[in-house]
Each structure stands twice: as C-alpha cells, then as structure tokens.
C-alpha cells in the first residue's frame, strides 16, 4: 500500500507575516482580514493523493455534487488509494457517479503514483513550477488543479491561480469591474496564496471545501 506524507501547513508565524504585509499593502485585504480572522492555510486535507483525487472529482461540478460523488467512490473502492482505485475498475467508479473521462483520470493518476512518476515526497524539495510540471504531465490534471495542490496540500505561500473563476469574480466585486487578479501579483507577493484564501473566504467558495 502506498504511503504518503501528510499535507503541509503554513506556520502561524508565516500567517501573521502574511496578514501584516497584506494589511499594509492593500486596504481591501485589510478589511477582509478583519472580517474573516486569521488564515488557516494547508493541512486541512488528508494525504496528497486524496487531495488530487478530490480535485479531479470536483472539476466542473458543484462542491455539493463533488462531495457526494467522492463519498460514493470511496465506498465503491473501499478507500482512496492508488491500489484500491485500480482494483475497483472503471465501471464501478462510473456507477459511483464519475464520468468515463474522470474515471480514466483518477486511474491514470493512480498508475503514475505507483510507477513513481508522481513522487509526493520529492515535491517538498521542488519549486512551484517544477511541481506543476510534474503534475500536469498526468492525464486529467491541469494547471489549476496543480496550483490548488500547491496551495492546499503543500501550503506554498505565493501561488496566484490566474484561471480561478471564483477569484476573478471576487476581485471584480471587491476592486471594480475592470480589475483582474493578475494586477495584484506585485502588491500581494510573497503571500499571494494567503490573499487568495481571503478572496475565497469573501465568497465562501474555497476549493478546499470540495
């Protein structure tokens, strides 16, 4: 049975530094920090493989639907691990609610992990782009999914997912219709992930709730 490291957690000291930087750099962030309190980034998930399977299940469906399908897949496979998902078979995963394509994706990820093509322990020593490059080489995992992994499993502090629709909607609501999330990279850096956490909190739609 494959054994994986626990998710990382952004330390309390780092969260305090991030909050101090964001309050000084951005009045909107100052208000969000006051409303939502301390950031708790990383460590919410179980092992990293489970995180990625959840992310694949959650692609293009509501959070509620994703939770339901994930629970059914867990029951069908007897747990979420590469070995169990491969032994379960695609037909059982489809019966649990996965599309044919997503069933193929989670099984492709399972094979890549067992073959050592995705090495979660090695990720701790790689920079963000190297982790993304490794993950997107697996069928069904795109850049957004890799960025969510960096934020919520590896607790990387300075990730800015430009393609996240929820973040872009939050930025337009809070900063004006013409605002784009890319405009704030230099303002929020080196704590872009923490800024994103507060933007998600403002809409109560963080991807880690899937």
What's CA 99's distance to the chain center, in Å?
Answer: 21
- For residue 9, the cross-strand partners are 42
Pick the closest to residue 169 from 195, 207, 208, 199 (CA basis). 199
Do the beta carbons of residue 7 and residue 43 sit within 8 Å? yes
Which pLDDT value is given to residue 59?
Answer: 82
The answer to whether residues 25 and 52 belong to one domain is no
The answer to whether position 137 is within a domain reads yes
Q: Can you give the pLDDT at residue 100? A: 94
The pTM assigned to this predicted structure is: 0.87
Among 114, 135, 152, the domain-final residue is: 152
Low-confidence residues of the chain: pLDDT under 50: none
Q: How many CB atoms lie within 10 A of CB 178?
A: 7
At residue 61, the pLDDT reads 80
Give residue 140's pLDDT. Answer: 92
Q: Which residues are catalytic?
A: 164
According to the model, what pLDDT value does residue 44 have? 53
**Residue 19 included in any domain:** yes
Pair 91, 187 in one domain? no
pLDDT for res 139: 92
pLDDT score of 62: 77
- Say yes or no: 71 and 144 in one domain: yes
Task: Identify the three-state secondary structure at position 150.
Answer: helix
Domain extent at residue 177: 12-43+158-209
Predicted pLDDT of residue 210: 56
What is the C-alpha to C-alpha distance for residues 210 and 192, in angstroms, rounded to an integer? 21
Q: Are residues 174 and 78 in the same domain?
A: no
């Amino acid at each position: 049975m494959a054994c994986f490291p626990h998710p990382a957690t952004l330390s309390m000291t780092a969260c305090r530094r991030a909050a101090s930087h964001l309050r000084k750099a951005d009045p909107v962030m100052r208000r969000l920090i006051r409303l939502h309190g301390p950031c708790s980034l990383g460590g919410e998930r179980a092992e990293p493989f489970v995180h990625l399977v959840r992310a694949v299940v959650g692609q293009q469906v509501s959070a509620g639907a994703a939770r339901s399908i994930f629970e059914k897949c867990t029951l069908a496979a007897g747990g979420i691990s590469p070995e169990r998902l491969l032994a379960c078979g695609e037909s059982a995963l489809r019966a649990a609610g996965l599309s044919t394509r997503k069933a193929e994706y989670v099984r492709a990820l399972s094979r890549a992990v067992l073959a050592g093509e995705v090495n979660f322990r090695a990720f701790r020593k790689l920079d963000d782009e190297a982790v993304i490059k490794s993950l997107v080489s697996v069928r069904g995992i795109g850049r957004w999914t890799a960025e969510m992994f960096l934020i919520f499993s590896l607790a990387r502090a300075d990730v800015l997912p430009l393609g996240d629709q929820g973040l872009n909607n939050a930025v337009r609501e809070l900063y004006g219709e013409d605002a784009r999330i890319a405009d704030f990279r230099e303002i929020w850096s080196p704590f872009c992930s923490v800024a994103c956490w507060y933007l998600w909190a403002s809409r109560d739609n963080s991807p880690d709730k899937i």
